[in-house]
Structure 1
């Protein structure tokens, strides 16, 4: 297969992963509304995702390469725990305390955090467009969370902190994944990441995860949330991000925000005022401006040269 179709497939993979992840937050909130606890939802979501990923890996066993050779499993485990799973843990805790639309806006602070990570990694101050992007994202966030409409009184402080922590963890996941080397099968990568992360989840919540009265229903919710939040995004991001880079992935991942906001409106009945819509648009504009210095075309050519 030529390089151009491979690149296009990588872009499409990240876009589809973003759509899947954007559907997650309103559905997690809905699971909470059905009476399931944070511990039950998080354990079943991550545990069943891990099982599904290993089943997929078994189906693709001919593509296996030993992930435990050369210490690669250590890198994958760090990404799985410090990036993928902590995003889920912090984000689900934020959803317990905040509206789904507010939680996803806080998660989207990963955009400027990723910019800062890239700058620190390259030991270079962000360019003027990226600095402008940070300012625009900040302004958009103030509008999107409804501060101007409703003031600060309605916000749960701990929920906001947890939402921001999920943004840090998500940024680390994207940034680390963009620096993975080698040609390991993306399903195997995802399965190893999720296995390491599930160990953390069990340490945190395992003793309080069983619902004796409605375990069957809870398993159904876990499968749905695991597929949308872990299996599809993790596999697709592992396919796309190493090829296109973390910065462009952050831009493409912005599709999560409108998907999550619209799903929260359609499923949960959360209101979306004109001011909040303007804020979401500003955040998306800011993410686009962040890519102007190098541009998607430049990043694409560099990525293809590396491959």
Structure 2
């Protein structure tokens, strides 16, 4: 894995756009957002981070783990039924073969744990949102990230869903708010014998002059290495940077309405939804008085 230095929040102009077009063999008079723009107005924009492999992974996860959950749950019910309605035999066996009974109970609790764990995973796949948006409000200088529980598991290891979100409850999205001035982007390129990929990871620092990282999130879904030659990740970062600087002249503002194949509707929390759409800092402060 190779990480590049922080990507600059660079201002686009005709000369830079022409250089990008030459590098990516493009012929456009507007800077592309790589098809990720979902909504835009003068106050804020929203981009999507969905990609096809997410939906394939969800379907595969359900197909693999749902039969396991049903089988394990059936074994647990059979054990409880047999112990309840054949209690006398159960006690006699416990007295005559304690070692075998100990192993039986140990296996029972292992299967019970597996039932809970795999049911939680199936729950995650079933209730996955349609996409994973990020909102950028240039009037307030705020960024709002809509992450699913396991979206960043490879980076943050967020295993708390095991006890906060059991299998019988719909899993919840994690929504966060950051200051745009505290966010820097890093381009990450990974390669092995069989494939290569690239992505942009946004790093959140505790101040504009600090090197202490307090959080991070993916800005754009991982692209195949061959697609990375056309620089869709960098173009999106450059597009967002110029939007936040009110430099709209060379930005492509066409909206992509195809934000996902299937999934649960994205619903922002009411307070974050209002704050992310605020038209000024005064309006923002009225929504969340300190």
Identify the structure with bigger relative contact order (alpha carbons < 8 Å, sequence gap 6+). 1
Structure (1 or 2) with the greater strand fraction: 2
TM-score (norm 2): 0.27
TM-score (norm 1): 0.26
Between structure 1 and structure 2, the one with the greater Rg is 2
